[in-house]
């Protein structure tokens, strides 16, 4: 099959395909569009061939219809996480002026989509990785969000305790011994702290389950993404902390989300409304 002259999209696509890139033609278009000079394009193609994520090379990814900045070393938002976002928006929109916390925020993609769907949201985002925090700050700029660097909920303002309507956490949930099985895009070019969930993959999930009751408002919800086979254990962790669990599954994108609901006050709940916007 003819590939065209060196540096052309067909030639680049052929090289990417030979390196194992499934979406070679699409990636070739992205690289050609992002390159400023022929030398820049050559460098980007060389890096992609050895496994650097194309999103980090071009500097952005489309997630739920938004263009999200992705810096080198930052976790690249996955399509499966759209289920987590849809669930979070569906719950947050039931409350007027909802308070939302995005733990393990990475690039800030989840919070950015929630804010786009719900302009009245009060958003707070946290990550332990300073590179991710800088990236999230760029993606959340102009949204009035608080972006904090620190370990899980440690840096959250104390005044939020008991007032968070939705706490969403796209936590690391890959078991340590499985990290080596990940594709090089993730294993070599994303922060290990964004991937490694400990021996069974659930170390951070259990910490979120333990912390959530302190922050959630009556009737509030905590949501985490997990592997399908981990969902029962995640639900059990929520139950241990008096959070009523339910599991959502989307086979099309191979996504599993576990939601934990806090109890309500007998009376005096904040005014709630019915809505179900679809982000993206």
For 171, list phi and psi in degrees, rounded to 5.
-75, 160
Sequence-ordered list of residues with C-beta below 8 angstroms from that of 273, at least 6 positions apart, any chain: 93, 94, 95, 96
Q: Are 241 and 209 in contact (CB under 8 A)?
A: yes
| DSSP result, 13-65 | HHHHHHTT-TTHHHHHHHHHHH-SSHHHHHHHHHHHHTT--HHHHHTEEEETT
Across the chain, mean pLDDT equals 93
Q: What is the pLDDT of residues 43-93, one digit of tens each?
A: 999 999 999 999 999 999 999 999 999 999 999 999 999 999 999 999 999
Q: What is the pLDDT of residue 264?
A: 82
Q: What is the pLDDT of residue 219?
A: 96
Q: What is the pLDDT of residue 279?
A: 67
Q: Are 131 and 67 in contact (CB under 8 A)?
A: no
| 276 pLDDT more than 90 | no
For 199, list phi and psi in degrees, rounded to 5.
-50, -50
Q: Is 59 left (phi over 0), alpha (psi -120 to 50) or beta?
A: left
Out of 2-16, 31-45, 184-198, which region has the weakest mean confidence (pLDDT)? 2-16
C-alpha distances in Å from residue 109, one per residue of 65, 91, 142, 268: 11, 18, 14, 33
Q: What is the pLDDT of residue 266?
A: 46
pTM of the model: 0.90
**What is the number of other CB atoms lying within 10 angstroms of the CB of residue 49?**
15
Q: What is the pLDDT of residues 196-228, one digit of tens each?
A: 999 999 999 999 999 999 999 999 999 999 999
The DSSP bridge pattern shows strands 216-226 and 164-169 to be: parallel
**Structure tokens given for 94:** 């039931």
Model confidence band, residue 3 (pLDDT cutoffs 50, 70, 90): low
d(C-alpha 258, C-alpha 50), whole Å: 35
d(C-alpha 280, C-alpha 110), whole Å: 11
Out of 3-7, 101-105, 142-146, 214-218, which region has the weakest mean confidence (pLDDT)? 3-7
């Amino acid at each position: 099959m003819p590939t065209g002259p060196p540096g052309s999209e067909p030639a680049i696509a052929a090289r990417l395909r030979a390196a194992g890139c499934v979406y070679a033609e699409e990636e070739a278009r992205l690289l050609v569009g992002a390159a400023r000079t022929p030398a820049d394009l050559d460098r980007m193609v060389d890096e992609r061939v050895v496994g650097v994520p194309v999103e980090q090379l071009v500097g952005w990814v489309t997630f739920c219809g938004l263009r999200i900045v992705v810096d080198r070393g930052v976790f690249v938002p996955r399509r499966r996480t759209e289920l987590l976002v849809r669930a979070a928006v569906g719950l947050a929109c039931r409350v007027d002026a909802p308070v939302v916390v995005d733990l393990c925020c990475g690039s800030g993609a989840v919070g950015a989509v929630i804010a786009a769907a719900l302009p009245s949201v009060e958003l707070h985002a946290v990550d332990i990785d300073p590179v991710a925090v800088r990236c999230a700050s760029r993606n959340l700029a102009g949204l009035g969000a608080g972006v904090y660097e620190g370990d899980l909920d440690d840096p959250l303002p104390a005044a939020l305790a008991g007032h968070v309507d939705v706490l969403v956490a796209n936590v690391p949930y890959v078991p340590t011994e499985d990290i080596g099985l990940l594709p090089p895009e993730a294993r070599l070019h994303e922060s290990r702290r964004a991937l490694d969930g400990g021996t069974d993959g659930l170390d951070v999930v259990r910490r979120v389950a333990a912390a959530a009751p302190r922050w959630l408002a009556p009737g509030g919800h905590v949501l985490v993404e997990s592997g399908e086979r981990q969902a029962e254990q995640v639900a059990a962790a929520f139950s241990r902390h008096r959070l009523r669990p339910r599991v959502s599954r989307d086979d099309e994108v191979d996504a599993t989300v576990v939601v934990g609901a806090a109890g309500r006050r007998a009376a005096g709940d904040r005014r709630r409304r019915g809505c179900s916007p679809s982000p993206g």
